[in-house]
Amino acid sequence: MADGPDLWRLARDTGLDINSPYAYTLWARDFADTSVIARDEAGQPRGFVTGFIRPTRPDTYFLWQVGVDPGFRGRRLARRMLDHIGERIAARGLVHLEATVTPDNAASRALFESFARSRECEAVWTPLFGREHFPADGSEEHEPEDLVRIGPLGRPGTDDKHVRRHT
């Protein structure tokens, strides 16, 4: 629970769609084992990944947000956190990772494509939410969100995914 305020501040400072401080504190309590926060040598929060196991698809991890402190971008921190989460969920027997990404978010798209390639699995992109699914916020409209579904997951550079698929 102590990480909740740090998650909120990082989300705010990275320009993500921000949820309430309460939501991040609750997230840190209820989804701690499916999320990660990266800290520097001084213990300062520098990045996070939040996600959960989908209740209606217990073989699927849904990645909610990835945030990296602007001063730590370009150091592959997002990818290292995603790899860490990938290891944790594959060890739990999950076979797919999902996330939503706006069409213009080239960095996130590249991150997920790279992750899929490293695990020798497929990243399938499909439209999920259109602008009509989001309330208008003043003059700004929310961008559409595409779903990426990555899997079947295995360990990087192994053929674990083939064993899981056939057993």
**What is the DSSP secondary-structure string of 144-165?**
PEEEEEEES---TTS-HHHHHH
Q: Could you tell me if residue 24 is inside a domain?
A: no
Digits of tens for pLDDT over the chain (167 positions)? 789 999 999 999 999 989 999 999 999 999 999 999 999 999 999 999 999 999 999 999 999 999 999 999 999 999 999 999 999 999 999 999 999 999 999 999 999 999 999 999 999 999 999 888 888 776 677 889 999 999 999 766 544 433 333 32
Q: Could you tell me if residue 100 is inside a domain?
A: yes
Q: Could you tell me if residue 75 is inside a domain?
A: yes
The contacts of residue 62 (CB under 8 Å, 6+ apart) are: 51, 52, 53, 54, 97, 98, 99
The amino acid that residue 49 corresponds to is V
Say how far apart CA 60 and CA 97 lie, in whole Å.
6
Q: Could you tell me if residue 124 is inside a domain?
A: yes
Range of the domain at 139: 49-166
Say how far apart CA 151 and CA 22 lie, in whole Å.
32
Number of domains comprising the chain: 1
Mode of pairing for the β-strands spanning 60-68 and 96-101:
parallel
Q: Could you tell me if residue 40 is inside a domain?
A: no
> Residue 75 maps to which CATH number?
3.40.630.30
